[in-house]
Amino acid sequence: MAPDEHIVDKEMGYTHADFLRLLPKAVGDGEISISGHTIQVSNGERRLRIDLSEESVRHLGHFRLPVTHVQLTFSGYSDAERSAALERFWKAYQKGGG
């Protein structure tokens, strides 16, 4: 890990298709490129790499829930920029009602 990198790991209840559908809202104006299970988001000097695991399924009785492990690697972000980016990211993928 480079000195200016910060890594966040998260298990998310999304298929890859659903994750990618919400991605533009989650990352804003960044330029998005996708190669396999790796997503690169560039915005000026800032880079966000998103690595997706293989899709899996969690069985809870009769329920089947999608599961994807996600690793976010931030490069070139100040603490405040990273905090704001994570807040936007989590809000875009937030499920449930109010």
Q: Which two tokens stand for residue 3?
A: 């000195």
Confidence at residue 29, expressed as pLDDT on a 0 to 100 scale:
87
Rounded (10°) angle between helices 16-27 and 79-92: 130
pLDDT tens per residue across span 17-51: 999 999 999 998 889 999 999 999 999 999 999 99
Domain ranges of the chain: 1-36+45-74
Retrieve residue 83's tokens: 């905090």
pLDDT digits (tens, 9 = 90+) for 41-92: 999 999 999 999 999 999 999 999 999 999 999 999 999 999 999 999 999 9
Between CA 7 and CA 98 the distance in angstroms is 29
4 pLDDT tier (thresholds 50, 70, 90) = confident
- Residue 2 above 70 pLDDT? no
pTM for the full model?
A: 0.90
User: In this model, does residue 1 exceed pLDDT 80?
Assistant: no
Q: Is the dihedral of CA 38, 25, 70, 75 positive or negative?
A: positive
Report the chain's C-alpha Rg in angstroms.
Answer: 14
